Amino acid sequence: MASIHDVAKEAGVSVATVSKVINHYPDVSDKTRKKVKNAIELLRYRPNVIARGLVTGRSWTVGVLINIPFTNPYVAMLLEGIKTALEDSGYDLMRLSARLNDPAYSFIDHCHSRNLDGVVVFGVEKDHRSIQELIESGIPTMFVDTDATGLRAGNITTDNRNGVHMAVRHLFELGHRRIAYLAGTPGHNVGESRRAGYRDGLEASSIPYCEDYVVNGDFSYDSGIQGMTKLLQLERRPTAVVCSSDMSAFGVIHSIEAHGLTVPGDISVVGFDNIYEAELFKPALTTINQNIHAIGVKSIQELISMIKSSDYPPPVVTEPSSLIVRESTATCADSVG
């Protein structure tokens, strides 16, 4: 089995230089880095993880806590971005299970027992006991879609508010005036930002806010069905619906069609997320795009920067959103909007 000394000899560099390349130090030229990597590949050298940890003081492992079902398409896209960022980083990923509703359970002890260098958290609100403990612990942490921060904790999210604003304006420009909103979970950071964007869009379009046109949901397919069923019972049903997620939009379309109506002929529908299925759905879904893959990549890049340097300021990153127009929206057929 090849040793680090063999790699150094093959590449014509010092053992210290090989160590720097393996541990991703920046003060190595691209030319030298390439020579070392070629030697590693040629000799099939594999660093000793335990020895590497003793030298660097790191476990070279980051944890990811995702507190929503892995069947959600958003999760798959987020994890793919995380995987992409980790491929050449030298870090391994550990999926964390956490009994967040167990008062006797300590998430911090869970992280320390696995000697994690850092954590990415998605789907847990910042006022949860375990999240507050994590912030106070000093473990480098990146929160996804949760506006929590700390001395060693940053966050990344999409411009949710402007995204829903754009959706409402799109429908207004198509002639719609009775625009309903299927909201996300009340009190949820993302849900509240998107709800605010709905009101912004109405105000910018001089459309009065109507409480009857706002139905709470939980971002799920079933909540889309249930919410749209309520809206269809109104005396003056909406001509368009903005949804807080693509999954709930799929449920909304199902409900509309189950009641003998068409999308977008009778009611236009806009989703939020632009998951893979949005383009494949029939009708193809008009939606607000958030670059979920990029969020996964960026969350890991920023986390590793915090791990490498205690002076690296915890980032607060907002990724832009954009409108993707497809088949589920059309000009309002109701002449009075």
Could you tell me if 177 and 276 lie in one domain?
A: yes
For 41-100, how does the pLDDT look when each residue is reduced to its tens digit (9 = 90+)? 888 876 655 445 445 456 789 999 888 877 888 999 999 999 999 987 888 898 887 666
Look at residue 333 and tell me if it is in a domain.
no
Look at residue 168 and tell me if it is in a domain.
yes
Q: Rounded distance, CA 86 to CA 104, Å? A: 33
Neighbour count for residue 236 (Cβ, 10 Å): 11
Q: Please state the pTM of the whole predicted model.
A: 0.81
Report whether 62 contacts 91 (CB < 8 A). yes
Main-chain phi, psi angles of 271, to 5 degrees: -105, -170
Q: Is the pLDDT of residue 134 over 90?
A: no
Could you tell me if 280 and 208 lie in one domain?
A: yes
Q: Rounded distance, CA 33 to CA 17, Å? A: 9
Q: Rounded distance, CA 67 to CA 169, Å? A: 33
CATH number at residue 298: 3.40.50.2300
Q: Rounded distance, CA 65 to CA 26, Å? A: 29
Domain range for residue 11? 4-56
Q: Is the pLDDT of residue 256 over 50?
A: yes
Could you tell me if 279 and 295 lie in one domain?
A: no
Neighbour count for residue 266 (Cβ, 10 Å): 16
Q: Is the pLDDT of residue 301 over 70?
A: yes
Look at residue 334 and tell me if it is in a domain.
no
Could you tell me if 91 and 70 lie in one domain?
A: yes
Could you tell me if 214 and 248 lie in one domain?
A: yes
Could you tell me if 117 and 189 lie in one domain?
A: no
Q: Is the pLDDT of residue 187 over 90?
A: no
Could you tell me if 192 and 282 lie in one domain?
A: yes
Look at residue 214 and tell me if it is in a domain.
yes
Reading the block at residue 190, the tokens are 């993302």
**Does an H or E element contain 68, and which?**
none
